[in-house]
Structure 1
Amino acid sequence: MARDFEILREERLHGGFFTLLRMHLRHTLHGGGWSEVLTRELYHRSRCVAVVPYDPMADRVVLIEQFRVGPLKSGENPWLLEIVAGAVEPGEHPDEVAHRETMEEAGSRIRELIPVSEFFTTPGGCSESIALYCGIVDSAGLGGIHGLAEEHEDILVSVVDFAEAMVLLGEGRIRSAIPIIGLQWLALNRERIRTRYGAA
């Protein structure tokens, strides 16, 4: 089956923390032919990176907590438990961003970077994609408040046992999709990682 699309017109509605576009497009249909002209708004942002910082020797996970505007309109708590994440700037490789953001947000160096997956977060209306990694770290001494003042970051770092991270996940206290995906991956691969580092 031939799959194709046409962008007929694109308007820039806003440029700020995100770029908001209005797109007029059409695409081929599964049953043949073309769709009607569709109008869709799209939040556009650069590719991003997320890291699950994990210490296999201590069997601990590094979590961060920060204010997020997204939950406000739903009346939810805007301080979310998350993992390290950041945007890929022009000319950067995602691996570089993983190392940079882990230092900036958690105060930790990555000893080894394990690629996990790359996925779209909200493809129905946002272009954001995430390159997800597991970062092997030494969790000793980590904690406190981190982040860049020029980016108005106020990030609380906590080191928790893997079992506690799973309790937080199971109780629904981690509400953001990216750390949920990252921690579920870790749950599936933890024993392999610990065996590799001689911790199991």
Structure 2
Amino acid sequence: MSDERPGHDIPDGRGRIGLHRTGLDLIGNPDVRVRDVEVTSDGWHVLRRTTLDYRGRDGQWSTQTRETYDRGNGATVLLYDPVARTLLLSRQFRFPAYVNGHPDGMLVESAAGLLDGDSPEEAIRREAAEELGVRIGQLTHLFDLYMSPGSVTERVHFYAAPYVSADIEGGGGLAEEGEEIEAVVVPYDKALGMVADGRIADGKTVVLIQWAALNLFG
């Protein structure tokens, strides 16, 4: 019986191999030695179980196991109208939020998406056009954040860009991916209230609105 495994030695459902090698070549932290990486789920994204040696502050080494969920990196953008003092956001159904206590799973969010092989700037221009029908002109990079570093590898690249309502055309997401995305124009002052009372509960969007409070509309 062959011990070849999809994603390891033979292609998985997306044609990938060598998924079990991620992390084996890390040398940036002398207190960490990666011993073994196992792919435990190789669906659209990848779940790995990594065994590593970690040297604590007392100088003693211990062997630990960590699971990491790798869905690639992403990008998000705060679209704002500086004259009307409004934000252009999206509203869509998010099952993970719905199954974890959100009343209806309909989240108000900033435009966002995975890079899918593009640069962060290219990706967020693509996502803004697909989701909200906005062709971004001037784009300002803000920062890059790990949103759930305890288990998810994703790093999100944050941007801000002005928009003009007259230039919006199309949007709604990709039907072939089952997306039904509604564009929502929210006055900035109302958005602050929606963060405070929980109507905006998406982490990346809250970060961007707080950035706007400090840098745009303060």
Q: In the TM superposition, what are the counterparts of 1:1-200 in structure 2 within 5 Å?
A: 3-34=30-61, 36-76=62-102, 77-90=104-117, 92-140=118-166, 142=168, 146-191=172-217
How far apart in 2 are the matches of 1:109 and 1:141?
A: 8
Contact 1:54 1:60 survives alignment (8 Å): yes
- TM-superposed CA distance for 1:39, in Å, is 1.4
Given the two structures, how large is their TM-score scaled by the length of structure 1? 0.87
Give ranges in structure 2 of 5+ residues lacking alignment: 1-28
Contact 1:51 1:133 survives alignment (8 Å): yes
Contact 1:144 1:156 survives alignment (8 Å): no
Per chain length, whose mean CA-contact separation is higher, i.e. which structure has more relative contact order (CA < 8 Å, sep 6+)? Answer: 1
- TM-superposed CA distance for 1:51, in Å, is 0.6
Contact 2:172 2:179 survives alignment (8 Å): yes
Between 1:9-18 and 1:58-67, the stretch displaced more is 9-18
Higher strand share: 1
Give the aligned residue type for 1:71: A
Aligned residues, how many?
189
Give ranges in structure 1 of 5+ residues lacking alignment: 193-200
Give the aligned residue type for 1:16: G
Contact 1:108 1:137 survives alignment (8 Å): yes
Give the aligned residue type for 1:6: R
How far apart in 2 are the matches of 1:6 and 1:163?
A: 49
Give the aligned residue type for 1:187: A
Given the two structures, how large is their TM-score scaled by the length of structure 2? 0.80
| Percent of aligned positions that are identical | 33
Q: 1:165 to 1:73 in 2, by over 3 A?
A: same
How far apart in 2 are the matches of 1:119 and 1:75?
A: 25
- TM-superposed CA distance for 1:23, in Å, is 1.0
Give the aligned residue type for 1:115: H
Aligned to 1:198: none
How far apart in 1 are the matches of 2:58 and 2:63?
A: 17
